[in-house]
Amino acid sequence: MSRFTDRPSGDPGAISGAVAGASFIAGVAGAMARSEHPYPRPGSTGAEIRRYFTQRSRAPLVSIAGQLVSAASVARFTASVARLAGRAGPGSRALQGAAVAGGAIATAGLAASAVYATALTTDRSEDADRAVALARRAFLAGGPIHGVGFGVLLGVLGLAGLRTRELPRPVAVTALASVPPNLLGPLYLLAEPAGWFIPAGRFPGLIVAGIAGAQLRHPVHH
């Protein structure tokens, strides 16, 4: 058989794709369930930001933990996507490079967002201007910046999945369809309504990464 149809051994670590989504969503949902106050949206005042991040329930720590686990999982899943890309035929080296770069940006963005959010739970948020600045950095790192990297990673996943036929076609196509909204997230900096691109790309992307991870863990020919 050719390299396009050879079936590789399973990749147990690919399940990290599912862990990335589950941990992120669990962190957000857990924080919402425990929180005494709504999450401060971009444009919130320093007092609103501090009220949320220093609340007695410590709900923000649930979300922060979810972000950190998700960031680590994205890093591991990047290795699985790069491995898949290496079997994609012509241009596989370029695809592997794109996967590593995208995964690194996505991981660093989410991890940085967690670090900034953690700083907001301390006395560093007592100064209103500093609280606003930290919250903005947390949003930009975990939103548009993470989204760009995640979009590139999903693009490689979808393209390599189609080329190798190691992913069901609907999964690969959905991964590719999730790329544009992730890459368009930075438009938020120019127009606030563009912020909807961020969840529109992230949540379908997390779902497809989970499905792809399970598929790559126990490959079946398509």
How confident is the model at residue 220, as a pLDDT? Answer: 61
The tens digit of pLDDT for each residue in 26-76 reads: 999 999 999 999 999 888 999 999 999 999 999 999 999 999 999 999 999
No. of H helices and E strands in the chain?
Answer: 9, 0
Alpha-carbon distance of 45 to 80, in angstroms, equals 41
State yes or no: pLDDT of 9 exceeds 90.
Answer: no
* 6 three-state secondary structure: coil
Q: Say if CB 108 and CB 153 are below 8 A apart.
A: no
State yes or no: pLDDT of 207 exceeds 60.
Answer: yes
Question: What is the average pLDDT across 173-196?
Answer: 94
Q: Say if CB 64 and CB 119 are below 8 A apart.
A: no
* 3 three-state secondary structure: coil
State yes or no: pLDDT of 139 exceeds 60.
Answer: yes
What tokens does 99 get?
């996967």
